[in-house]
Amino acid sequence: MLIDIHSHILPGVDDGARSNTEALDMLRMAIDGGVTTQVLTPHIHTGRFNNNKKDLEQRFIQFRDAADKANIQVNLQLGAEVRIGPEIMALVNSDQIPWLGEYQGRKTFLLEFPRNDIPFGSDNLVKWLLAKNCLPIIVHPERNRTFLTQRHKLQTFIDLGCPLQVTASSLTGKFGKDVQKMSEELLEANQVSAIASDCHNLKGRMPDLHLGIAAAKNIISKKSIEFTMDTTKKLITAVDKI
């Protein structure tokens, strides 16, 4: 039983699945890999993917109905991957983020940094979010070049209490040896709260959570893997069911 908290399966909303057919095939592939709960987390990235909560909820309901009609047996939930920036403050204040769940009294969501840098003031924005009872889960920090080369900058967010989610294919080497090494080191240091697929399509970025879990089992103990999966489940404890 696997829980995948990060995917771009919801069709037609970002750089993930382009059609219902592709999205349903991605769901089938995820299930074949052992996924029983699949969270759909489209990008919310101002200026690039201007998704809003109401539209995403409507699209989610339509897609869930399509999955039911196709007799695809999986627990679907809606969340979002939100790009860090000052726009988040307005999104929080207007309740425009589809929350992943609630953990330790705070609403959770996936927080994405740019590929190469850490925007100035990011730590202060995270502190503001925490004061608003919002807990950002930092996604794929191992794929950010600044975090990769200046680990102390990631430690700042760990010290603030942000959970980390690494990508399954980072652990299998898809993004390079340096990314793989950092993923392994984070696991060994017990700093990973979730492993997720971050799948986008059926080829280069396919649903592969099971492969990441298999790789993790070669790095850390069975007990540690079970603890990580238990934490993952807690991070998506539902706030509002759609």
Quick one: pLDDT at residue 229?
A: 87
Count CA within 13 A, CB hemisphere, residue 127. 6
**Per-residue model confidence as pLDDT tens for the chain (242 residues):** 899 999 999 999 999 999 999 999 999 999 999 999 999 999 999 889 999 999 999 999 999 999 999 999 999 999 999 999 999 999 999 999 999 999 989 999 999 999 999 999 999 999 999 999 999 999 999 999 999 999 999 999 999 999 999 999 999 999 999 999 999 999 999 999 999 999 999 999 999 999 999 999 999 988 888 888 899 988 987 555 56
Cα distances (angstroms) measured from residue 103 to each of 100, 194, 212, 234:
10, 13, 24, 6
Quick one: pLDDT at residue 112?
A: 98
In the chain, the domains with their CATH numbers are 2-235 (3.20.20.140)
Give bridge partners of residue 101 from the DSSP assignment. Answer: 108
Quick one: pLDDT at residue 239?
A: 52
Phi, psi for 93 (deg, rounded to 5): -65, -25
Q: Which two tokens stand for residue 41?
A: 């987390």
Phi, psi for 97 (deg, rounded to 5): -105, 125
Please report, in angstroms and rounded to a whole number, the separation of the first and last CA atoms in the chain: 22
18 with 11: CB under 8 angstroms? Answer: yes
Quick one: pLDDT at residue 242?
A: 65
**What whole-number distance in Å separates Cα of residue 12 and Cα of residue 41?**
13
Q: Which two tokens stand for residue 69?
A: 């009609």
What residues have CB less than 8 Å from 67, skipping those under 6 apart?
24, 27, 74, 76
Alpha-carbon torsion angle 84, 88, 91, 93, nearest 10: 150
By the 10 Å C-beta count (0-12 exposed, 13-18 middle, 19+ buried), 152 is classed as exposed
**Cα dihedral sign for 39, 237, 235, 14?**
positive
**What whole-number distance in Å separates Cα of residue 66 and Cα of residue 72?**
9
